Amino acid sequence: MKVRETVREDGLRIISGRVPSKKVYLNLIAGVGLAYDPENKKGLFHYFEHMAFKGTEKRSIEDIGSFTRRNLLDGNASTKKLTTSYYVEAVSRKFSLLCEYLCDIYFHSVFPKSEIEREKEVILNEIARDNDDDHYRAYFALWEQLWTQNPLRASEVGSPEGVKNVSRDDLLSAREHWYVPSNTVALAIGRIDHDDFVAELGRHIPIDSAAIEHRTWNDEYGALPQKPEVIIELPEREKAIFLLGFKFPFYNDEKTAVLTKFLQFLLVCRPTSRLWNEVREKRGLSYALNGGVCCDYQLGHYFHVYVETFPQRVEEVQELVKGLLMKPLDDSDEFEEMKEWLYDWYTLNPETLDEWSAFIVDALNRGVSPKTAERYLSRMSKLISSVSLDEVEDLRRLSMNPEQFVSVIVRPT
């Protein structure tokens, strides 16, 4: 992938990743998300992703539907803690159409009042779905214990009370403030001519000198959890959930990222991992078992282990998981097998444009130049070859602190 970037005079970041493809992938990313929701309107910025396709100053909701059906191979929006993304994918010859369309829904949505009220019920249904999901409840309880102020403790979709408080004026005011060039990244992946991309955006995004001030948050890494254990009892359940999590050291260098890959795959991320073999294969205590490191580079990281088991087995699983995490990594054969597998994985080129896009977005999230996405796979392969078992064990030993562990148990009443 050949990466080029232009930062326009008003702060708009225009990034292209040129790769051989008959398709093109476009993404407009606003530097605002759930972390910026007002306290009494949790879900405000999530609302934007739902309302983006409900009509603009020049397109009715029917026009948007027709354009989508005729032109898009894929298209949607998503809201994260610090960003909101709007993306489309189509055949390369429709590149200009895509640029105009995406800029239109991003900057010029009109948020019809009738659609706001109708979509409100859709979002409330989404929240209800999450609240009725035992898996979601367990993680929400974990996040609340790990952080006190950091946005990582908050719901991914908002609260029913907050969503009900959102009005059209709120959406218009927030867009006017946040959806400006200086707070926008425009990303294109495919057989892209970068200068054409810059010129195309110039036709649809006027110069606007409005500046944005972003907040920063403490990752609260050194703070102990509020509670070491949370028990949630629910009726009519045949299974129980055991979830263990703790804050993980914040990293921003590629070597530590590789060591973390080794650590999570050796411990929990694969069907050959230590926890899988000991909990499921040797003892038959679970069907569903997964975990690893989750991160938002600008907020924090956490390690988690998720196990579904029978209620009478929860205490056994809890002690087993904690013991396995604290046990040193000393199997050199297992380590070499993992090294070969990771090396093979990183020597593969991505097969989809959104995977290529993810490399650039990852660089942006880490606060480094998007050009680091070039030759990313080859750099990772070299780093993998250089990793030793002792280095991975050092990371395990430094990051596993039982005082930081939080256990969440969801079980039947």
DSSP letters spanning 267-336: IIISTTSHHIIIIIITT---S-EEEEEEEETTTEEEEEEEEEE-GGGHHHHHHHHHHHHHS----HHHHH
Give yes or no: residues 151 and 188 share one domain. yes
Give yes or no: residues 195 and 236 share one domain. no
State residue 181's pLDDT score: 98
State residue 135's pLDDT score: 96
**Residue for token digits 């294969």?**
281
Residue 105 falls inside a structural domain: yes
Residue 213 falls inside a structural domain: no
Residue 183 three-state SS: helix
Q: Do 127 and 158 meet the contact criterion of CB atoms below 8 Å apart?
A: yes
Count the domains in the chain. Answer: 2
Give yes or no: residues 132 and 196 share one domain. yes
Give yes or no: residues 108 and 182 share one domain. yes
Give the number of other CB atoms < 10 A from CB of residue 100. Answer: 15
CATH at residue 399:
3.30.830.10
The CA-atom distances, in angstroms, between 293 and each of 178, 216, 233, 260, 396 are 30, 22, 27, 8, 12
Comparing C-alpha atoms, which of 234, 158, 185, 202 is closest to residue 87?
185
Residue 256 falls inside a structural domain: yes
State residue 192's pLDDT score: 95
* 3-state helix/strand/coil string of 24-74: EEEEEEECCCHHHCCCCCCCHHHHHHHHCCCCECCCCHHHHHHHHHHHCCE
Residue 212 falls inside a structural domain: no
Quote the tokens at residue 335.
């380590």
Give yes or no: residues 269 and 400 share one domain. yes
What count of Cα atoms within 13 Å lies in the side-chain half-sphere of residue 72? 19
Q: Do 395 and 263 meet the contact criterion of CB atoms below 8 Å apart?
A: yes
Range of the domain at 97: 2-204
State residue 167's pLDDT score: 95
DSSP lists the bridge partners of residue 76 as 87
Name the pTM for this structure.
0.93
Pick from 170, 204, 238: which residue ends a domain? 204
State residue 253's pLDDT score: 86
Give yes or no: residues 264 and 390 share one domain. yes
DSSP lists the bridge partners of residue 268 as none
Give yes or no: residues 250 and 192 share one domain. no
In whole angstroms, what is the distance from residue 112 CA to residue 251 CA?
43
Q: What is the pLDDT along the chain (413 residues), one digit of tens a residue?
A: 999 999 999 999 999 999 999 999 999 999 999 999 999 999 999 999 999 999 999 999 999 999 999 999 999 999 999 999 999 999 999 999 999 999 999 999 999 999 999 999 999 999 999 999 999 999 999 999 999 999 999 887 899 999 999 999 999 999 999 999 999 999 999 999 999 999 999 999 999 999 999 999 999 999 999 999 999 999 999 999 999 999 998 877 889 999 999 999 999 998 889 999 999 999 999 999 999 999 888 899 999 999 999 999 999 999 999 999 999 999 999 999 999 999 998 888 788 999 999 999 999 998 899 999 998 888 999 999 999 999 999 999 999 999 999 999 999 99
Give yes or no: residues 143 and 28 share one domain. yes
Give the number of other CB atoms < 10 A from CB of residue 62. Answer: 9
- How does pLDDT run across 76-107, given as a tens digit for each residue? 999 999 999 999 999 999 999 999 999 999 99
In whole angstroms, what is the distance from residue 371 CA to residue 212 CA?
24
Give yes or no: residues 249 and 382 share one domain. yes
Is the backbone of residue 375 left (phi > 0), alpha (psi -120 to 50) or beta?
left
Residue 17 falls inside a structural domain: yes
Give yes or no: residues 200 and 243 share one domain. no
Residue 199 falls inside a structural domain: yes
Residue 391 falls inside a structural domain: yes
Give yes or no: residues 331 and 371 share one domain. yes
Helices H / strands E in the chain, number of each: 15, 11
Residues of the chain by 3-state class (helix, strand, coil), percent to 5 = 50, 20, 30
State residue 350's pLDDT score: 83
Give yes or no: residues 288 and 192 share one domain. no
Residue 218 falls inside a structural domain: no
Quote the tokens at residue 66.
């027709």
